[in-house]
Chain A
């Protein structure tokens, strides 16, 4: 009824190509921004930040990154965990080497380092595609984790082999370490998420995004049309790794504080982010948000329902959690292969016509 595009006329191409062409979507976006930046920081506490909001924000960044590579450019990657580790270790080295520099700079630079590493491991994509490329990125995953485990320089020769985030601040507000206030860590991650999402949207609606999608949909035709496959694939790897690196740096420095690379950035992490992208919807920025929210929220909800409401033992709930999440993923892939984003799109189309069926 109120979700209408009728009467919402565009008189310029700028209006027509904006991110939210429909008025209602635009206002909803402003409301979400206002709540995210203006209300949540005042009501947030440690539990909400650590159990839900921080993992959601950070995974959303990683999912946007992976979605650019897999969903927009069609290059399958199983190396997300490894690239997150690159971001984390780059951030750690920068934090310990330049203690006085702002954390913003460190996280950005960590993303930049990851982008370079991503391009290096993206080079095989010029010759191989599909499953074979997936295997090549899998090699990146194992190699990177091995590297960070075996070369003591990366963890500053610490006895435990772990990396620990020292206390660092932004404009005098502590962001990392155990004394960081919840609202500050939340806002710090939110700023990066907003930044990444806007960049991703700008790239995907423009020339670069069209080149990526052309390569994804039909690479040979794309090249004959004038897409430089080398440039398109490597920019996709670079941008994707940049975001994934930022996510890795935040995951280590802001969220966990201490990381043992094999446990945190192992192959499970790669699969988790890939599931988020697939369940959320390939080739959709909104889908990355939805997928991250789904896979972060679901275990928490199941735990609250199982342990707190039904009073079951914790270990049974933990096992059930795995079963239910697994079953839901399979169900999703069968019922809606295009993910939550497609469900959302269908809902919007129905809403537009409501209350009429056609």
Chain B
């Protein structure tokens, strides 16, 4: 791997990784006396699959919540596309092009799959409430336009058959896929995945892994993911951040991380055979 800090690098399998898209600078997040994240800095490059790993309670999900604007860190700065991000509400972060999925599926249970995915396209909806009340004209045109984009994602993730099904009726694995569809519908610049494979069997994990790789490959989406399945993490990701008790204890390619003694002690462990 050639590493060039300003321009990016080329991975072993020949994918070009671009410049830094998002940079976290000295983030510290406290809840009262509990320090969830302690002075962590790392960056995410364009087109990259970046993993965040670590034992339970290490602060991984908190980190994702900081990126998506749900938590406001006490110290540190978030830089997005070369500019320091001012403090903003989560929906404004979403409109900037950061979409995410959740550890415990957070779909809108009362709505159909189609409506859920359409909700992901909110930032493309420009008509006002009067135009929507009329429906005919602008609102309908906009609806159809976005429906077309959503149908492409539905095709891509192979969920055509459950389009009109209420989400509450779906099995777990499909719900995860619908959640990914909803995030993709936003055409994000940065996609955050919080344990996309938690609770899945091997076959579902394989499917999900392929979808993640395809998303990265076809749309060029930058992805940051949290995952506990080390096989998946090491295979998918270009670079890995390792956290433990709110600190960063490792950062680098999967190989570098795998051989980092501190990471082995805190998280990976050694095999007993």
A residues near B, CB below 8 A?
12-14, 17, 199, 202-203, 205-208, 210-211, 213-214, 216-218, 220-229, 235, 239, 283
Alpha-carbon separation in the docked complex, A274 to B143 (Å): 32
Whether the Cβ atoms of A217 and B109 lie closer than 8 Å is yes
Alpha-carbon separation in the docked complex, A222 to B110 (Å): 13
Chain A: minimal CB distance from B94 (Å): 3
* Binary per-residue interface labels of chain B (130-151) against chain A in the complex, 1 for a CB within 8 Å, 0 otherwise: 0011110001101110011000
18 contacts between A and B (CB under 8 A): A13-B143, A13-B148, A14-B144, A17-B147, A202-B139, A206-B132, A206-B143, A207-B132, A211-B122, A217-B107, A217-B110, A221-B107, A223-B90, A224-B93, A224-B106, A226-B91, A226-B95, A227-B119
Chain A residues within an 8 Å CB radius of B108: 213-214, 216-218, 221-222
* Binary per-residue interface labels of chain B (86-122) against chain A in the complex, 1 for a CB within 8 Å, 0 otherwise: 0001110111000110100011111100010011101
Q: B186 within 8 Å of A by Cβ?
A: yes
Contact A13 to B147, CB < 8 A, known contacts A202-B132, A202-B133, A223-B91: yes
Whether the Cβ atoms of A226 and B143 lie closer than 8 Å is no
Chain B residues within an 8 Å CB radius of A12: 144
Chain B residues within an 8 Å CB radius of A283: 110
Alpha-carbon separation in the docked complex, A235 to B129 (Å): 8
Q: Which of B125, B127, B186 has the most CB of A within 10 A?
A: B125
Q: List the count of A-B residue pairs having beta carbons below 8 Å apart.
A: 102
User: Chain A: which residue is nearest B109 at the CB level?
Assistant: A217
Q: Which of A211, A221, A227 has the most CB of B within 10 A?
A: A221
Chain A residues within an 8 Å CB radius of B119: 210-211, 214, 222, 225, 227
Whether the Cβ atoms of A206 and B122 lie closer than 8 Å is no
Q: B56 within 8 Å of A by Cβ?
A: no
Alpha-carbon separation in the docked complex, A228 to B125 (Å): 13
Chain B residues within an 8 Å CB radius of A220: 70, 106
User: Chain A: which residue is nearest B132 at the CB level?
Assistant: A206
Alpha-carbon separation in the docked complex, A224 to B93 (Å): 8
The listed residue (A13, A208, A221, A224) touching B129 by CB distance below 8 A is: A208
Whether the Cβ atoms of A207 and B127 lie closer than 8 Å is yes
Contact A229 to B91, CB < 8 A, known contacts A202-B135, A203-B132: yes
Whether the Cβ atoms of B148 and A225 lie closer than 8 Å is no
Alpha-carbon separation in the docked complex, A221 to B101 (Å): 9
The listed residue (B133, B142, B148) touching A203 by CB distance below 8 A is: B133
Q: Tell me the count of chain B residues lying within 8 A, CB to CB, of chain A.
A: 40
User: Chain A: which residue is nearest B186 at the CB level?
Assistant: A226
Whether the Cβ atoms of A224 and B118 lie closer than 8 Å is no
The listed residue (B69, B106, B107, B135) touching A206 by CB distance below 8 A is: B135
Q: Which of B144-183 contact A (CB under 8 A)?
A: 144, 147-148, 182
Q: B221 within 8 Å of A by Cβ?
A: no
Q: A208-B129, A210-B118 are in contact. List 8 more A-B contacts (CB 8 A).
A: A206-B135, A207-B127, A214-B108, A217-B107, A225-B99, A226-B123, A228-B89, A229-B91
Alpha-carbon separation in the docked complex, A220 to B129 (Å): 23
Chain B: minimal CB distance from A196 (Å): 10
Q: B61 within 8 Å of A by Cβ?
A: no
Whether the Cβ atoms of A224 and B139 lie closer than 8 Å is no
User: Chain B: which residue is nearest A74 at the CB level?
Assistant: B110
Chain A residues within an 8 Å CB radius of B111: 210, 213-214, 217
Q: B222 within 8 Å of A by Cβ?
A: no
Alpha-carbon separation in the docked complex, A270 to B107 (Å): 32
The listed residue (B68, B107, B123, B140) touching A224 by CB distance below 8 A is: B68
Q: Which of A13, A199, A205 has the most CB of B within 10 A?
A: A13
Chain B residues within an 8 Å CB radius of A224: 68-70, 90-91, 93-94, 100, 106
Alpha-carbon separation in the docked complex, A9 to B80 (Å): 46
Whether the Cβ atoms of A13 and B110 lie closer than 8 Å is no
Whether the Cβ atoms of B139 and A13 lie closer than 8 Å is no
Chain A: minimal CB distance from B55 (Å): 25
Chain B residues within an 8 Å CB radius of A206: 132, 135, 139, 143
Closest 3 A-B residue pairs measured CB to CB? A226-B94, A221-B106, A217-B108
User: Chain B: which residue is nearest A283 at the CB level?
Assistant: B110
Chain B residues within an 8 Å CB radius of A203: 129, 132-133
User: Chain A: which residue is nearest B108 at the CB level?
Assistant: A217
Whether the Cβ atoms of B110 and A216 lie closer than 8 Å is yes
Chain B residues within an 8 Å CB radius of A17: 143-144, 147
Alpha-carbon separation in the docked complex, A216 to B143 (Å): 21
Alpha-carbon separation in the docked complex, A211 to B100 (Å): 17
Q: Which of B48-86 contact A (CB under 8 A)?
A: 68-70
Q: Which of B70, B91, B147, B182 has the most CB of A within 10 A?
A: B91
Chain B residues within an 8 Å CB radius of A227: 91, 119, 122
Chain B: minimal CB distance from A277 (Å): 15
Alpha-carbon separation in the docked complex, A229 to B70 (Å): 14
Alpha-carbon separation in the docked complex, A239 to B106 (Å): 27
Chain B residues within an 8 Å CB radius of A199: 133
